[in-house]
Amino acid sequence: MFWNVGSKRTRYQDLFNSMGSMYAAVLFLGVQNAASIQPIVHIERTVFYREKAAGMYSPMAYAFAQVVVELPYILVQAATYGIIVYSMMAFEWSAAKFLWYIFFMYFTLLYFTFFGMMTMAITPNFHVAAIISTAFYGLWNLFTGFIVPRTVIH
């Protein structure tokens, strides 16, 4: 799906294929991040309740720590995955374009990870969070513009 799609730029369909493959690459890893963070946040919530009851720290400090701890991990993940996917897609190797690609991948992966944390924070357990997340993924995919009507398919 990713192999050499960035070197083909002559038709509208080639551009659509490149954008779709970038979307799929980020969506795949983003959904994995959101799904994998939910059980961890669920376990950490028990520790948070105990520590909050003991007066150890405030909810704002806990939330801030959860966000900050994810930043370097997601950066390494975005850089590693970005280098692999960017080279597989055979996009133009210029520093500016590659850094923009990594920039968008980084913040999209952060968004998905924080979305997983948020759904876990507003639901009673990670099973309900997974159901709510899946519903939103379906809505996001529905309105991305990559679902092509049957009459337009050639």
pLDDT tens sequence across 14-70? 777 777 778 888 888 899 999 999 999 999 888 888 888 888 888 888 889 989 999
Give the number of domains in the chain.
Answer: 1
Model pTM above 0.75: yes
Residue 149 domain-assigned?
no
Residue 134 domain-assigned?
yes
Distance CA 88, CA 122 (A): 38
Separation in Å, CA 59 to CA 19, 63, 68, 123: 39, 6, 14, 16
Separation in Å, CA 54 to CA 48, 65, 110, 126: 10, 18, 31, 25
pLDDT digits (tens, 9 = 90+) for 133-145: 999 998 888 887 7
Q: What is the pLDDT of residue 136?
A: 92
Residue 150 domain-assigned?
no
CA-CA-CA-CA torsion sign (125, 128, 131, 134): negative
Residue 6 domain-assigned?
no
Task: Identify the domain containing residue 118 by its residue range.
Answer: 12-142
Residue 19 domain-assigned?
yes
Residue 4 domain-assigned?
no
Residue 40 domain-assigned?
yes
Residue 151 domain-assigned?
no
